Structure 1
Amino acid sequence: MGEVSYFNATEFTPERVKLLKYHSRLIVVFSTFGEREAELIRQKISLLDRELGGLVDGYVLSHRRQGSAEELTEARAREARADVEIVVCNGYRVPDMGDEQGKGADMRRCLYHINTVMRNNAREEDVIVVFLDADVLPDYFGAHFVLGLSGAVLEGFDFAKAGFWRAMGRVKKYVAQPLFSAIEHPRLAALSRLSYPLAGEVAGSLRFLNSVSFWQRYGVETGIDIDASARPIRIADVNLGRYDHEHQGEAGIQKMAFGIIRTYLMQLRDYGILELKDGARIADVFRETHIDESGSLHAQAFDLAERKYAPLSTVL
């Protein structure tokens, strides 16, 4: 099953990554969450272009527009690098996808774009893709994000996942890590060894990324983690140091936690590790009841169903 090895991003210098890269292609994807990251995108692409030079062969901006016209985030990305590939996810067509929204859905759309537009006939194993969240605060972001994650994959690992220290990380600390330790099974053993299992900063070869199932929304990291853990592959846990980004409110945290738990249970069911009986089923709706600070009782329900997509290799 998946084996985890640990690295520090500082082990992968530009010189070392350049030697490892040889004839491989390196593509960096930034996932945005709206116009609030327009300036962050410009800063980050400019920084990587300045510090890594020709190491990165292409940049992709994953963006979802509010309307039909080009938005500030796209313009800022092009200011940093004119040839950045912009995937406008609302309306981007993939054969087995509709118009559903979600981080995982949009990551898969970008991956399809890389396969069909940017691959340049390279072999799957020779194209390395690094996914980065655009909202990482500038004080913590650096070229080591790309060097560490891509370097581990170029070193021969199938999948690289970021690890880091951050002040909050509530869902990781109080939901994901306890949950991932609750059921012992050989195919799940790698989960509890990941230092930050919910990190959105990951890298892999197209061969690996095309072989896993992407989940539409909150479950994308958990779903890929379990696919990686359940297979006989090499996983790199890469320490990026300190990290922080914009924090979610309590309602957002609850929805995220529900999505992670739901995906975990569904993956275990799909792998035959977990069996539900007597009419039990995994719910799509998160329901919660609470008393507010004024003493009033409230009840809410949120439909958090999300699609599990087949591996992209099935539609390429």
Structure 2
Amino acid sequence: MTGTRTFEVPDALSDDDVAALLAAKADRTVSVCLPCRDEAATVGPLISVIRTELIEKTGLVDELIVVDDRSTDDTARVAAHAGARVVSIDDVHAEHGIGHGKGNVLWASLLVSHGDFIVWCDGDVTSFEPDWVMKLLGPLLDDESVAMVKALYHRPTKYGGGGRTTELVARPLMSRYFPALTGLAQPLSGEYAGRRSVLEQVDFVQGWGVEMGLLIDIARRFGAESIAQVDLGDRLHRHRTLQSLSVQAAEVMGTMLGRAGVAGESGDVLRRADGSEVPLNLASRPSLQSLGLSRGTSRR
């Protein structure tokens, strides 16, 4: 298995670059999906930019969906007012059974969307640029061998930095068990795009391990060279505490070790120093293809 690929993109896309993307897109469709829980403070401007610049102005994006994961604030109202189609995770659960976690929401967004290409972006990002979607789509539109495109970016330390779970957990385990993926600068990034026909063939880990699970499973099925990355510049988002990151890190670790065939001895829990135990969410949603729910519209 060879390694992942980095695609060079200009810092700013010209009108000619946008026109080339639209020509490469042809009759295929693009869905932008935002998984959200309590993102009322940030999701409105994000949706407005996508709708104005990528739907109304260029027509590159055909569908904009927010999957609301039981928000207790005004996320759903703000998102709908800004112009997104809002889907409640409870409506998905009513038909397909209850799930939990970020991966569950990503799986739901694949289920309720229609695009040949799916672009995901976290709802708490405050530095979003329309170029992000264009740059993530570029390799998928230009090269049929590309299945997924991850973002790489810089997180300014003066705003809290980031990437602690990546550097302290994901990267050491990638180096040991999945070396073909080590070229990815941000394997856990929440901004990435994929080909529907590929995404419908793989399971989605329900918890925080979803990104690593997708990378490992796609690399195994289609080759690590089917995974690409592009530079999106700076990224700013909500900064998490170390205590909250410990659960994320444990779920990423559990997902990676499970796929490496390393069995745990103490169950799927995180044991803290005070004796408390936090259950880990390592369950998966089955592939849409295995459920007979595949739309199969993309050409891969």
- Range into which the TM-score falls when normalised by the shorter chain: 0.7 to 0.9
Q: Write the letter of the residue equivalent to 1:300.
A: S
**Counterpart residue number, 1:220:** 210
- SS for the counterpart of 2:121 is strand
The residue number in structure 2 matching 1:285 is 269
Structure 1 residue 65: Cα displacement: 3.1
Note the 1:203-242 alignment, pairs <5 A: 203-233=193-223, 234-242=226-234
Residue of structure 2 in register with 1:155 after alignment: 142
Give 5+ residue unaligned stretches, structure 2. 156-160, 294-300
Match of 1:57 in 2: 62
Shift of 1:26: 0.6
SS of 2:107's partner is: helix
SS in 1 for 2:236: coil
* Aligned counterpart in structure 1 of residue 20 of structure 2, from 5, 16, 20: 16
Give me the whole-angstrom Cα distance separating, in 2, the residues matched to 1:146 and 1:23. Answer: 18
Amino acid at match of 2:70: R
Residue 27 of structure 1 corresponds to 31
| Maintained 8 Å contact 1:9/1:149 | no
Q: Return the offset for 1:284.
A: 0.3
Aligned 8 A contact 1:159 1:202 in 2: yes
2:244 to 238, 252, 255: 252
Residues 189 and 229, structure 1, Cα contact 8 Å, conserved in 2:
no
Matched, 1:311 2:300: no
Q: Is the 8 Å Cα contact of residues 8 and 240 (structure 1) preserved in structure 2? A: no
Aligned to 1:130: 119
Deviation (angstroms), 1:112: 1.0
1:94 Cα deviation from its structure 2 partner: 7.3
Equivalent pair of 2:33/2:118 in contact (CA under 8 Å): yes
- Measured after TM superposition, the shift of residue 9 of structure 1 is 4.5
Classify 1:66/1:47 alpha carbon distance in 2 versus 1 (closer, same or farther; 3 Å): closer
CA distance in 1, matches of 2:2, 2:108: 26
Residue in 2 that maps onto 1:73: 75
For 1:92 and 1:43, the matched residues in 2 are separated by 26
Residue 176 of structure 1 pairs with residue 160 of structure 2? no
**Contact 2:204–2:287 (CA<8 Å) still a contact in 1?**
yes
Ranges in structure 1 where 5+ consecutive residues have no aligned partner: 120-126, 290-297
Which residue of structure 1 lines up, in the alignment, with residue 103 of structure 2?
104
Give CA-to-partner distance per residue, 1:12-65, whole Å, 9 cap, x none: 63222112111110110011121xx22422211221222222111010101023
The 2-side partners of 1:231 and 1:282 are apart by 30
Instruction: Give the C-alpha shift of residue 135 in structure 1.
Output: 0.4
TM-score, normalising length from structure 1? 0.81
**Are the counterparts in 2 of residues 2 and 230 from structure 1 also a CA contact under 8 Å?**
no
Distance across 2 between alignment mates of 1:159 and 1:260: 19
Contact residue 3 and residue 229 of structure 1 kept, 8 A = no
Cα RMSD of the aligned pairs, angstroms, is 2.1
Partner amino acid, structure 2, of 1:134: G
SS of 2:207's equivalent in the other structure is coil
Matching residue's letter, 1:154: L
Residue in 1 aligned with 2:297?
none
Name the CA shift for 1:26/1:94 in 2 (closer, same or farther; >3 Å): farther
Deviation at 1:66, TM superposition (A): 4.8
Deviation (angstroms), 1:308? 1.8
State the distance in 1 between where 2:9 and 2:122 align.
17
Q: Would you say 1:267 and 2:259 are equivalent positions?
A: yes
Distance 1:18 1:162 in 2: 21
Instruction: Give the match for residue 235 of structure 2.
Output: 243
Q: Distance in 2 between matches of 1:161 and 1:259?
A: 20
Q: State the SS of the aligned residue for 1:197.
A: coil
* Residue matched to 1:124: none
Question: Quick check: 2:254–2:282 contact (8 Å CA) kept in 1?
Answer: no
Taking structure 2 as the reference length, the TM-score comes to 0.85
